């Protein structure tokens, strides 16, 4: 069957910031003369001291290093707030919609946000926070989360946001890893009418974090929470005592901006570190071009601030560009599956950016929920976080967008800071399921397993051969791990961990992770993390986790578990282990299938043959490949004979 191609609508190529000719011209310039290109693009920011050097980067071991705009200084909060005050002080910056539609929305202007940020920044200073210090943020999707981020940026503190769905253990690990002394949280969060006990989680986490001496607690739901004397303070009353002006800290372009933990194939989650200048240029530029953004348009990125998408496209990118950014606390199907589209109508959202997993879940509920809303304001749709299957793409395009809104399928990663491969709505003809063409300055290549480049159309490992400003700079506390993880597999290239196909038109099609990372509902998880949670249970001897196809989540979690010899595995234990993983990591890591197995397929040297387990997880067992190197081939027969039904 011929691939469907959706040409750029004439209206878009006429009016967009970038049409195809301009894309070609800008892309060519961005790779042939990066210094000149980025010198110009960086002018979108207000610099305190202009930079003279643009790019000093090498992916090679001998002279490895990544630094952009090195001698320039700036402040990101000033770029998000102060510089807009004269022109758009009274424009709404954050349009907040609560979990329940019966509660009122909040409209926070740039002027108000500036004041809130200044007061909170002063509070942080009063609690002893200094430039370079780490501040852990564990908050629901409320405007105060953005206030906290911007306040850190204003005074040069490094924020580390921990997704509010993570467990106390996961929170404790992240607090310890970056050695944070202060935690910002709320009494509770609300999701789909249910309370998430954030403060209680913090209290539990802090039993293992003796270094934390300050907790600022937002009374969001009115849930009574115990306050620890001298440690815990009430957000609102503490902020009220602070001054409404706070000078910005002058930051070097390469001063750290934030840490965000993300999963890899091995070990514990890594603290991905982004710095100030390059990240800001990248988030602002990609937000403007990918969404064809003009100041004042109503824009909604539905990602949580606990993920990188929330950082770059719910807060920093849009605010740098003078946007009205919608922030939604709740979930797509509460109180009913019209919720997203009702919010679109309520606020007149023009640009909507969401994840395929939510679309698939909504698609299953039927078209009526969508069609009873107007959605006339929508002009552009975006997708992020995982491959979007053609059915979901078609539904998004035809039903949600009524055929008139281009879809920008944006491929990128926590590590990349912002969008790397994506259509530009006025420039790129769309093919459902393809992230299409590289962003300016991004030089993707496909390599075979031996590192040989695949030219033209083909399939391989996706690498990027030169630096871009938004690239992460290090793994917090472990620079060697940064190099080893990303630059040692293929010498001289940044390895993304993704597989990818390039077609005859030069379009990129991400095929998914080729390492031991799985993508569950757009949330990235290391199989090793879930395995170590499982083996931490006293009845478990060994565990291996693989991804499995899942209709809604994209990938589900399939765990093979070997129990200690005296344990008789049963349904009760299965439930116990599921609850255990949820408690250890958080609900997003809930296993979909647990298969008890007396043994796992291992080579004679004791290495688990994950390839076989992956095939079983994918239910593709007709050809398991070569099993002759297994120490005990009968293990596989047992696994095949005892495959359970999904829970
Ligand atoms: O496998 C790719 C997938 O998500 C991974 C990055 O996850 P994370 O760091 O959590 O960032 C998610 C939000 C940017 C990638 O390695 N991924 C992300 N976007 C896409 C995607 N896969 C296919 N198509 C996409 N548009």
Q: Give the ipTM of the model, two decimals please.
A: 0.99
Q: How many CB atoms lie within 10 A of CB 583?
A: 14
CA atoms of 41 and 34, how far apart (whole Å): 10
- Please tell me the distance between residue 533's alpha carbon and the centre of ligand 1 in angstroms: 24
Q: Measure the CA–CA gap between 453 and 447, rounded to whole angstroms.
A: 4
Query: Atom 24 (ligand 1): residue with closest C-alpha?
Result: 387
308 three-class SS = helix
Residue 389 Cβ < 6 Å to ligand 1: no
Q: Measuring from atom 6 of ligand 1, which residue has the nearest CA?
A: 413
d(CA 550, CA 557): 9
User: How far is 17 from 15, CA to CA, in rounded Å?
Assistant: 7
441-449 contacts: CB < 8 A, separation 24 or more? 441/30, 441/31, 441/34, 441/37, 441/38, 441/466, 441/468, 441/469, 442/468, 443/31, 444/420, 444/500, 444/508, 445/493, 446/500, 446/501, 446/502, 447/490, 447/493
How far separated are the first and last CA of the chain, in Å rounded? 36
What is the rounded average pLDDT of the residues 478-495?
Answer: 97
Q: Which residues contact 609 (CB under 8 A, 6 or more apart)?
A: 601, 602, 603, 627, 629, 630
pLDDT at residue 628, as a whole number: 83
The set of residues, in sequence order, having a beta carbon less than 8 Å from that of 269 and lying 6+ positions away, is 173, 174, 261, 262, 263, 526, 529
515 lines ligand 1 (CB under 6 A): no
* pTM across the whole model: 0.96
> Which structural domains are found in the chain, ordered by start?
79-252 (3.40.50.980), 521-642 (3.30.300.30)
Is 39 annotated as ligand-binding? no
Per-residue model confidence as pLDDT tens digits over 315-371: 999 999 999 999 999 999 999 999 999 999 999 999 999 999 999 999 999 999 999
Pick the atom of ligand 1 nearest to 409's CA: 26
| Mean pLDDT rounded to a whole number for the chain | 96
What's the rounded Cα separation, in Å, for the pair 99 and 321?
A: 27
**Rounded to an integer, what distance in angstroms lies between the CA atom of residue 166 and that of residue 151?**
23
Q: Is the pLDDT of residue 1 over 80?
A: no
Determine the residue of 385, 417, 499 to mutate for testing ligand 1's pocket, defined as the one with the most ligand atoms within 8 A of the Cβ atom: 385
- Would you place residue 646 in the very low, low, confident or very high pLDDT band (cuts 50, 70, 90)? low
Q: Whose CA is nearest to atom 7 of ligand 1?
A: 413
Mean pLDDT of 534-554: 95
Task: Count the Cβ atoms, other than its own, within 10 Å of residue 133.
Answer: 18
Distances (CA, A) of 296 to 246, 293, 342, 348: 26, 9, 20, 12
Q: What pLDDT score does 629 carry?
A: 85
309 close to ligand 1 (CB < 6 Angstrom): yes
């Amino acid at each position: 069957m011929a691939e469907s191609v959706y040409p750029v609508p004439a209206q878009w190529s006429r009016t967009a910031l970038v049409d195809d000719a301009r894309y070609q011209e800008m892309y060519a310039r961005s790779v042939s003369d990066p210094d000149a290109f980025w010198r110009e693009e960086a002018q979108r920011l207000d610099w305190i001291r202009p930079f003279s050097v643009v790019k000093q980067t090498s992916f090679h071991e001998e002279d490895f290093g990544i630094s952009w705009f090195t001698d320039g200084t700036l402040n990101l909060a000033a770029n998000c707030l102060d510089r807009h005050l004269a022109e758009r002080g009274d424009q709404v910056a954050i349009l907040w919609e609560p979990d329940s539609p019966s509660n009122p929305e909040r409209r926070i202007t740039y002027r108000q946000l500036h004041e809130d940020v200044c007061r909170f920044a002063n509070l942080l200073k009063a609690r002893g926070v200094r430039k370079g210090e780490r501040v852990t943020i564990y908050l629901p999707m409320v405007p105060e989360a953005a206030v906290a981020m911007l306040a850190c940026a204003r005074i040069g503190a490094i924020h580390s946001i921990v997704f509010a769905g993570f467990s106390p253990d996961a929170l404790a690990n992240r607090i310890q890893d970056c050695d944070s002394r202060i935690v910002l949280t709320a009494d509770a969060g609300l999701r789909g009418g249910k309370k998430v006990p954030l403060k209680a989680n913090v209290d539990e986490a802090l039993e293992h974090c003796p270094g934390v001496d300050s907790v600022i607690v937002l009374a969001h739901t009115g849930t009574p929470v115990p306050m620890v004397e001298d440690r815990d303070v009430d957000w609102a009353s503490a902020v009220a005592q602070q001054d409404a002006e706070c000078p910005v800290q002058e930051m070097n372009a390469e001063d750290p901006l934030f840490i965000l933990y993300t999963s890899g194939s091995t070990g514990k989650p890594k603290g991905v570190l982004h710095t100030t200048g390059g990240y800001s240029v990248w988030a602002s530029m990609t937000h403007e071009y990918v969404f064809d953004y003009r100041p004042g348009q109503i824009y909604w990125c539905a990602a949580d601030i606990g993920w990188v998408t929330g950082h770059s496209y719910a807060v920093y990118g849009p605010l740098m560009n003078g946007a009205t950014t919608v922030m939604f606390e709740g979930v797509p199907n509460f109180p009913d599956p019209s919720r997203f589209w009702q919010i679109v109508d309520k606020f007149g959202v023009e640009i909507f950016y969401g994840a395929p997993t939510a679309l698939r879940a909504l698609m299953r509920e039927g078209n009526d929920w969508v069609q009873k809303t107007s959605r006339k304001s929508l002009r552009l749709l975006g997708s992020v976080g995982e491959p979007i299957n053609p059915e979901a793409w078609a539904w998004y395009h035809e039903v949600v967008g009524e055929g008139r809104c281009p879809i920008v399928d944006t491929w990128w990663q926590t590590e990349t800071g912002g969008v790397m491969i994506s259509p530009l709505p006025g420039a790129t003809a769309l093919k459902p399921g393809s992230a299409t063409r590289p962003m300016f300055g991004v030089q993707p290549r496909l390599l075979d397993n031996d590192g040989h480049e695949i030219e033209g159309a083909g399939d391989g490992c996706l690498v990027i051969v030169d630096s871009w400003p938004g690239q992460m700079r290090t793994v917090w506390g472990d620079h060697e791990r940064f190099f080893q993880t990303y630059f040692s597999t293929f010498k001289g290239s940044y390895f993304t961990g993704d597989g990818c196909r390039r077609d005859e038109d030069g379009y990129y099609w991400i095929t998914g992770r080729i390492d031991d990372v799985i993508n569950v509902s757009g949330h990235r998880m290391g199989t090793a993390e879930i395995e170590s949670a499982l083996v931490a249970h006293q009845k478990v001897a060994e565990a291996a986790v693989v991804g499995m196809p899942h209709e809604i989540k994209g990938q589900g979690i399939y765990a093979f578990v070997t129990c200690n010899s005296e344990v008789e595995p049963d349904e009760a234990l299965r439930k116990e282990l599921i609850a255990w993983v949820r408690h250890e990591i958080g609900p997003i890591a809930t296993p979909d299938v647990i298969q008890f197995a007396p043994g796992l397929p291992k080579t004679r040297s004791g290495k688990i043959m994950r390839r076989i387990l992956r095939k079983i997880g994918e239910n593709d067992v007709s050809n398991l490949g070569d099993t002759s190197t297994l120490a005990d081939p009968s293990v596989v027969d047992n696994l095949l004979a005892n495959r359970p039904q999904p829970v």
